[in-house]
Structure 1
Amino acid sequence: MFTKPFRVKANTVIKGSDRRKLKVDISAAFPVLTADELSDLVPNKDELNVVKIYAHKGDSMTLYVLNKNPLFFELEKRIYPTVYVLWRFPALLPTVTTWPPVLDKLIGGADLMLPGLVTQCGLPHVKKGDCCAVKVFNNGAPVAVGTAAVSSTEMQSSGMKGRGVSILHTYMDALWAFGDKSDPPSLPESTETTQEEDVNGEEFDPGDELGKEDPVATCFNEAHGQEVTDQSCPGMEQLSLADEIQQEIDMEKKTEDEQKSAQELMDALLFRCFLHALKMKVKKSDLPLLTSTFLRNHMFACCPRGKQLDIKKSSYKKLSKFLQTMQQQHSLIRVKELTKGVESIVEVDWKNRELRSFSVSEEAASEIEPAPEGQEGDIPYHPPEINTVYSVSARVEPLFLDAKKRKGNVLQAAEVRIIITDYVKKNELVAENNKNYVMISPTLCDCLLEKSEYHEVESIKWDDLFSRTLCKMQECYQIVFPGQEPLTKKGHLESIDISVASRGSNKKVTLIKNLEVYGLDPSIVATALQRRVQASSVIHPLPGAKDRVLVQIQGNQIHQVGNLLLDHYKVPRKFIQGLEKAPKGGKKK
């Protein structure tokens, strides 16, 4: 994660309210911290900075820095401690132990493989995905932070083979270098991890077993330079372990190299198809052009025969990141967000040196897969998946705290039902006389009842409980386009609006708006309609909506528009408004 330098986007002093929220979040993430320890980490008066950064792979995250030392980093709404914090509070996380030579591999970017663990020091109880720390043998100071790749039970059942900890941050990496660059302190081993029973049921004591020297570490050093016999090294049992560690690391490096090579090839293919599409397919009159349309209709069309364009297999992972790189590093295009999650190419630098120098040979051009002939602009359109979701509001937040859901978290209705059911059962609120009813506790009263009901309602039915909870939450919608991250917006989803208006001499025109919300390119829809009804169509800016347009076509064409949207584009009828205004019998008026 931090093997290479990161880019700082913003560095600001934290506000008082945000400082208090940070304390709450840290306390929730690390409940072992006492109030005094929490105040020591997040003091009320010392300067605490919030630093927004971009890692070298493009991941966006937040650092919390106290006195120039990064204390915590937040990634995907989850807080992790740095080694600077763990050196002060080594028992903050469950910790696994590895051999000193393995640390160099971790610093280089490798994950911790299970053969590299010192099993005699014991395994902490962890679940898959739990945050945990890594320390080296004979020192209790953690040197790395990561997440458990498998649970402790699975570690043992697998025979200690495979990946153990996915490493996020280590001593000597770029995040460590962002602080004062101090070295790990020498801390005594925790009694919980050093005093464990070995496979024979006998207690393992490093002091008794190894004496003053560390023969295991000596074996690691000697194994690289000379032969070591069983008699010369009490830790000879670990030599095969060292070989296993190296084999696992070499295998992982080989896999990473293969993945990197495949990514580089896909990146090159993406860039080639991008330049080819701009030079041969896109015209100035096509702009603005939806990015999804550009990928679907232009870049895919420029992919050589026998090859497949797949952004997920590139280093960019998303179309938006690829186009941002083309804009920021190559200055080839300018991309603008029309609405949240809907982007469009609004400008192309036709004089760009890379674009002008790009050429497609006749042989390469013959390899291009011809676009399939068909109707409606030859659009292989896939409608988005649209779901209603609910955001946790401040009023009902107390009901979701046990499930670690806070204000603003988005849930499906089924998830809300499960969480509320667990809350009722945990607090023993099911009515004893009738299991169909739930007793109203003070918390349920505050969250769900109106003031007039406070002294009247003592119990409610399960269905009423669920419906009241959903009513008190913020209704949202989630729209998922194929191959893209889900987009969540508050309120109701705008429908595609079809209406009929009169223009001079009582001529009728059909107006269509909000096509962009569903990933449809208005210009292509206009062309498809023009082919269907043999009538002229134009595109106008949508009044009162910046960067949005409406399609206008002559005559009352609601029937044809409805057929196109329902049959060809497969847009659900409930998201189309105005179909009832079509003329009876399909006759024009």
Structure 2
Amino acid sequence: MFARAIRVKSNTAIKGSDRRKLKADLSAAFPSLSADDLSELIPNKEELNVVKIYAHKGDAVTLYVLHKNPLFFELEKRLYPTVYVLWRHPDLLPAFRTWPPVLQKMIGGADLMLPGVVVPSSGLPDVKQGDCCAVTVVSNRAPVAVGTASLSRADMHGAGMKGRGVCVLHTYMDHLWAFGDKSGPPLLPDAESEGQGLNGEECEDDEEEEEKVKSRVEEEQITGEHFTDEACSGVEELSLAKEEEEEEEEEKGEKDIEEEEGSKEDQKMPQEIMDALLLQCFLHALKSKVKKTELPLLTSTFLRIHMFSCCPSGKQLDIKKSSYKKLSKFLQAMQQKHNLVRVKELTKGVESIVEVDWKNRELRSFHVPEELEEEAATMQDGGEGETPYHPPEITTLYSVPARLEPLFLDANKRKGMILQPAEVRHIVTEYVKNNELVDENNKNFVTINPTLCDCLLEKSEYQEVDSLKWDDLFSRTLGRMQECYEVVYPGQAPIRKKGHIEPIDIAVASRGSNKKVTLIKNLEVYGLDPAVVATALQRRVQASSVLQPIPGSKDKVLVQIQGNQIHQAGNLLLDHYQIPRKYIQGIDKAPKGGKKK
């Protein structure tokens, strides 16, 4: 289910009442969890997030995330544990065992077929059709997959151990697992796994048994049995075309080779991997992001704005994990060994890039990876494939109030009718001309008649004001009308509402230990998805963000991001989303750059 990329819709902190309800639901769904276990999994005083996502097939899934690890996911009002929970509670679900090569197929989206199940001496787990169950591999009791039983235990035996056994929903190494800290399964030895063969048959060793599995796969394919090739049991799935099968086999072969020999990435020291990523982002930023007019450029700004934005999706740039440890040492190496840049301390303690050698052979020969070019073309500052954003057209309108209705009667405009400002000016002008109220001595003034007096003048002005300038006449008319606004989103019918349109509000608040956070609200009014904006800001400033519901509002969400990010949020809204500055509140409170004392 999570074999392909998932899309995050929202990320909010759980409420206290919802936390208690979740504990009760987990206790009902998994009776073996004790009160202490539940308190450990769902602690009362630690932040637990509710993340709503869409799987690649469009299924709406709710995740419950603690310390960045998804603990449970809810699908169609049913709770399932993730592998992160099962590694702490391996006996939480009844488990089926299979061979390690099968895991690669399940990661690719396949179900577990019964010919690939290794039956222990105690027999198959006692399950009913639809029961939640886990999958383990031979020699390790730590679950690597979660799903539902396709058949009951009796029906599995009745089918001769052929057909689908477990409908797999989530596996180790899939995109739901990658949503967490990407840790591996613990080693939990399973004594019963030794010497067991396919469907309970004994074998001399694991390698011989795996050969039997492969030969059985070939026999099943020849005889036309319809089992999934993606499953480690090795049978063909009807829906797979022949070309897709060959591609999957090639991918499987590559993965197996990498597992047996050890991937090159794993053989490298973590520092070497980070050093290579650091150099790639550095060259990419110089070649595609930095302009000559930006120099001199603060090194911290260069890292935060340019280098972080060049980091491939799925990877995280962390200088502390490199051999350089500090940005200053890395830039010093780029200056001394590669002659790419010249760094100078323009202000005491603050370094800036003052010169870039654009003709440097290493820089000129660098090519941006294709996947990053495609990502830059399709991703709109973190939108990850979202439809390109087009700002709405916002128009200020005016509604005719009861007091001004006599002024608009000649134009057949009644109380409550909504007009454009130009229409108001035209109607007022026609009224003045039709009633011959233009001052004969000075055409810049309009004579006040009883109707205009009642509509536009205050009581204290009745005896004093005999005429008004045209501009004053129009401003008084608009000032006494009910202000409205019209928002037109691309491809949608216009939306009209009374009152002033709420501006996007950007503010800074303090949280525990006087840590600053930036709060952004009212994005929905302008057709912006708060989750997409939060992701875009995350990419720009490399800081975590959460979405929180606004009390008293049904459909609005507050974006909270770490640090004072007013400047970055303002630039994103103005430059990328093209929101007019008059509809953004709080940009003027951005911290101004200055010399450090």
Fold equivalence (TM over 0.5): no
TM-score of the pair, normalised by structure 2: 0.37
**Which has the greater radius of gyration?**
2
- Which has the higher relative contact order, 1 or 2, with Cα contacts under 8 A spaced 6 or more apart? 2
TM-score of the pair, normalised by structure 1: 0.38
